[in-house]
Amino acid sequence: MNTPRSERFNISLTTPAGELTTFVEAPTMLVPIMAIVPLTRRLGEEATALEETQEQEAGRPISCRKGCAACCRMLVPVSPPEAFALKAMVETLPEERRNVLLDKLNQAQVRLEQAGLLARLTAVTEADSPLSDEDMEPLNRAYYALRMACPFLENETCSIYEDRPAACRELLVTTPADLCEDLISNPVRSLPAPVRVGTVLALLWSELTRTPPTLIPLPLALDWAEKHATEGQGVWKGTQLLEQMLEKVWRLLEQEFANREVGRAAPGT
C-alpha cells in the first residue's frame, strides 16, 4: 500500500480586507524548513491581493510597475527559511551565472564595510533578541542613504523575481511612482500588509530550533545560510510545518486587526 506523499487542506483566514479561502497541499514526509516557504508566500500574496482589491475599489490602484525599482535600494529582511531557500536556488544556477551573483554580493558587502554598516548588520543576525522597528530605523535609513542597488537587481529588474523574498512581494505603493525616488522624505503610501510572511517564517524557525527570532539583511543571507548549513539540514513532517506556520499567521492577523482598530481610533485618522 502506497503512503500518500501529500495531504490537501482547505484553509479559511479572516483578514482585514476580507475572507481568504484557499487550499494547500502539505507533504506528509519529512522535509527541510525551506519546503514551507513557497506555500507561506502564496498565502501572504493571496492576503495582499485582497488588500489590493480593496484599495482599487477605493480609487487607490497600485502604482508599482516593472522597471520601477526605487524600493530595491532598501534594506530587505529575510527569514532563515528564506535564506536557506535562496542559497539552494543560487546553487542550482549555471556556474557563470552563479559566480556573477556571488561577486555582486561580495561587492555589496565591501561597500557596506566601507560605510561602517557591515558589522552593524552582522550584529542584527546574531542578536539574542530581535530588534524593534524603532531600533532598526536608524540602520534602515543609513542603508537607504547609500542608494545601493540590490545585488540581485539587473537593468532595474529583479533577476530572481520568482524567488524574491517575501518582504519584496509585500512592498506595494498607491502613491505616484515618482515619489518613490525618495522613500524617506516623500509622503509615500504603502499598501497595508495583513501578514508579514518573513516574520511568520522567522517565528516558525525560532520555535522549531529554540533560537531567537531572526531576520537577516538580504546581502548577508547566503553567508548566514552557509554558516548555519547544519541546522538547515534538519527535517520535519510537512503537515507539522503547515500547522505551526498557520498558528503564526493567525496570531499575526489578530495583532493586525488590533493595530488597525487602534489606528482608526487615533485622532486625525
Residue-by-residue DSSP string for 129-146: SPPPHHHHHHHHHHHHHT
Residue 1: inside a domain: no
What percent of the chain is predicted at pLDDT more than 90?
A: 80
Residue 227: inside a domain: yes
Q: What's the DSSP call for residue 186?
A: S
- How many structural domains is the chain composed of? 1
Bigger pLDDT: 2 vs 233: 233
Residue 78: inside a domain: yes
Domain that holds residue 199: 6-265
In this predicted model, what pLDDT tens digit does every residue of 5-20 receive, in sequence order? 889 999 999 999 999 9
Residue 111: inside a domain: yes
Mean pLDDT of 239-247: 96
* Weakest mean pLDDT among 109-118, 174-183, 226-235: 174-183
Residue 194: inside a domain: yes
Confidence (pLDDT) at 268: 59
Residue 218: inside a domain: yes
Residue 165: inside a domain: yes
Cell of 59: 480609487
Mean pLDDT of 189-202: 93
Is it the case that residue 108 has pLDDT exceeding 70?
Answer: yes
**Are 257 and 115 within 8 A, CB to CB?**
no
Q: How much is the pTM?
A: 0.93
